[in-house]
């Protein structure tokens, strides 16, 4: 812990990789933990796939709204972890957040440089004309369609569905190239290719730190590993940052 605090104090550029464990304190389910939503019913991965969206977009939207509880999304607020990350910026550090989360809470907490690796629940886009629609519009329609008179295409959510291409990986690696420290918070590091990012940092000899309640298959890649509650650990750290 003392060595990690020293690294944080010395680092000017910090890249923070975040997963579902960062948002659970805000009430959002952890989809991939040992008790996560995806372990309850493997068919959900099929229903949340690009293939199923194109096969039956009407039923896709019904299941999508149910699984992700879109009506409740605006009730969720940033928690102490989001605030800690933003506080690093307030100390004058250059901070980039690369998140697996799709809830938009990092932005709500004030983080200014957020790469949403798996997209966002807060918007949807028309595959026909490219028009973008916000959460209010999405929630006001059972099956949201483009409202442009000449279009009317069923909208596609702006999250990365199973089978979609990851478009932010190269950008994430470019950010890591410029960093002094990679801090990984609240992720089991089971999902590819996101879990290649700590490997990339390790290969570039960049200091890496992991704080997660459970062990991960990638623990060996980190210079600092803390298996403990995320909020209480960060509160200890924050009190000793300069």
Annotated binding site: 126, 129, 146, 151
49 — alpha (psi -120 to 50), left (phi > 0) or beta? Answer: beta
118 is catalytic: yes
Which runs of consecutive H residues, i.e. helices, occur in 116-168? 135-139
Sheet holding 156-159, edge to edge: 132-134, 119-125, 156-159
Annotated binding site for Zn(2+): 126, 129, 146, 151
Phi and psi torsions of 33, nearest 5°:
-75, 180
Structural contact between residues 103 and 70, judged by C-beta atoms closer than 8 angstroms: no
What distance in Å separates the CA atoms of residue 49 and residue 59, rounded to the nearest whole number?
Answer: 12
- Rounded to the nearest 10°, the torsion over CA 8, 9, 15, 18 is 40
Q: Which of 13, 86, 118, 223 is catalytic?
A: 118
Q: Which residues are catalytic?
A: 118
């Amino acid at each position: 812990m003392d060595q990690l605090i020293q690294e944080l104090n010395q680092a000017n550029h910090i890249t923070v990789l975040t997963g579902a464990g960062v948002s659970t304190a805000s009430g959002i389910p952890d989809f991939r933990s040992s008790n996560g939503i995806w372990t309850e019913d493997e068919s959900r991965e099929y229903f949340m796939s690009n293939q199923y969206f194109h096969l039956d977009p009407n039923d896709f939207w019904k299941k999508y709204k149910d699984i992700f509880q879109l009506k409740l999304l605006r009730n969720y607020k940033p928690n102490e972890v989001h605030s800690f990350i933003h506080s690093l910026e307030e100390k004058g550090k250059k901070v980039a957040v690369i998140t697996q989360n799709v809830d938009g809470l990092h932005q709500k907490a004030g983080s200014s440089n957020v790469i949403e690796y798996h997209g966002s629940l807060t918007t949807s886009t028309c595959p026909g004309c490219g028009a973008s629609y916000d959460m209010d519009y999405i929630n006001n329609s059972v099956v949201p369609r483009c409202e442009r008179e000449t279009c009317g295409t069923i909208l596609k959510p702006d999250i990365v569905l199973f089978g979609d291409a990851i478009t932010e990986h190269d950008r994430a690696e470019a950010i890591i190239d410029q960093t002094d420290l990679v801090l990984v918070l609240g992720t089991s590091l089971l999902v590819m290719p996101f879990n290649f990012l700590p490997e990339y940092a390790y290969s570039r000899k960049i200091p890496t730190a992991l704080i997660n309640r459970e062990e991960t298959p990638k623990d060996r890649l980190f210079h600092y590993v803390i298996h403990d509650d995320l909020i209480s650990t960060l509160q200890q750290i924050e009190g000793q940052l300069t």
